[in-house]
Structure 1
Amino acid sequence: MFDHIKVLIVDDEISIRKLLEFYLKKHFTVIAKKNGKEAKDWIEEGNLPTVIVADLNMPEMDGYALMDYVRGNSKYDGIPLMILSANESSSDRIRCFKAGADDYVIKPFNPEELYYRIFNKMKRINNI
C-alpha cells in the first residue's frame, strides 16, 4: 500500500465516489469531494493531494474551473490531474489537455485501469 499517495477524487455522482473510494483505498489514501468548490476549499485549508481525479460536469464549480484553479497556482502546478468524464468528444479531451490535464478517462471505466494509470504516473515522478 502506498498510503503516502493522496488521491483526491472530485465527482458529484456518489456512486462514482464510492466505487473509487472502495477500490483505490486498497492502495492509496483517498479523499473524496462532491464538486470543485469542495476540492478547492479542502486544498486551500492546507491539504495537498498527490494526484487529482476529477469529473468535468459538476454543480457549483466544474472540472474545468478546478483545472484552471490548480494549473493557475504554481504551488499546485506539479500535481497530476486526471479527468474522469462521460464526455467522449475529442474537442472535450483536447480542451482538457490544453488546460493542463495529464490524462482523460471516459466513463464508464474500469477501476483497475484507473489504478494503473495513477500508479504509473506516480512511479514516473518518483512518489512510489
Structure 2
Amino acid sequence: MSPTPINLPSTLIIEDDLYMQGIISQCLSENFTTMVFSDGMDALTYLQEGHIPDIIITDLNTPNLGGMQFLEQIKSSGFFNSIPVVILSGVDNTETRIKCLEAGADDFIVKPFNPRELEARIKIILKRSGKITLN
C-alpha cells in the first residue's frame, strides 16, 4: 500500500453511527484525508482548536450538538462560515432540506446514498469553492 499524499483535501465527518462512519471514511479515503467525530460538540471543539477542514459532512441527528445546531454555529462564525457543509440525513422531508439549505448547507443528501455520489458532490463543491481542480 502506498503512502497517502499529505496535500489531499481534508474532510471533517460528524456521524454517530459506526457503520455509516466506516462507509463514508472508506468512500473518501482515496482522495481525502478524513477526521471523524461521533457528535457535533467534539467536532466544534476540534475546529476551535484551529483545525480547519476543506469540507464538513454532518449527520442531522448527532448527540450533544445536532447537525442543524452545528450548521448554525459554523455559519454564524467569522472563522468557520466559509467551510462548505454537506448534511446527511435519513429524513427525506422537503421542509427539512429547505431549512438546512437556507441555514447555509451547501448540499443535503438523503440516507441511504450511493458513496460515489457523495464523493462526486463533495468534489463539485470543493471545485466551486476553489479548493480543488477537477480534470
Q: How does the TM-score come out when normalised to structure 2? A: 0.90
1:42 pairs with 46, 53, 62, which one?
Answer: 46
Partner of 1:24: 28
Partner of 1:81: 85
Q: How does the TM-score come out when normalised to structure 1? A: 0.95
1:33 pairs with 37, 57, 82, which one?
Answer: 37
Code of the residue aligned with 2:85 in structure 1: it is L
Runs of 4+ in 1 over 2 A off after TM superposition: 1-4
Paired residues of 1:35 and 1:58 also in contact (CA < 8 A): yes
Q: Give the count of matched residue pairs.
A: 128
In structure 2, the gaps of 5 or more residues are none
Partner of 2:16: 12
In structure 1, the gaps of 5 or more residues are none
Q: 2:42 is paired with a residue of what secondary structure? A: helix
Q: Per-residue CA shift, 1:79-112, capped at 9, x if unaligned?
A: 1110010010101001101111110000000110
Q: Is residue 2:101 matched to residue 1:101?
A: no
Give 1:4 deviation, angstroms: 3.2
**CA distance 1:3–1:84, change in 2 (3 Å):** farther
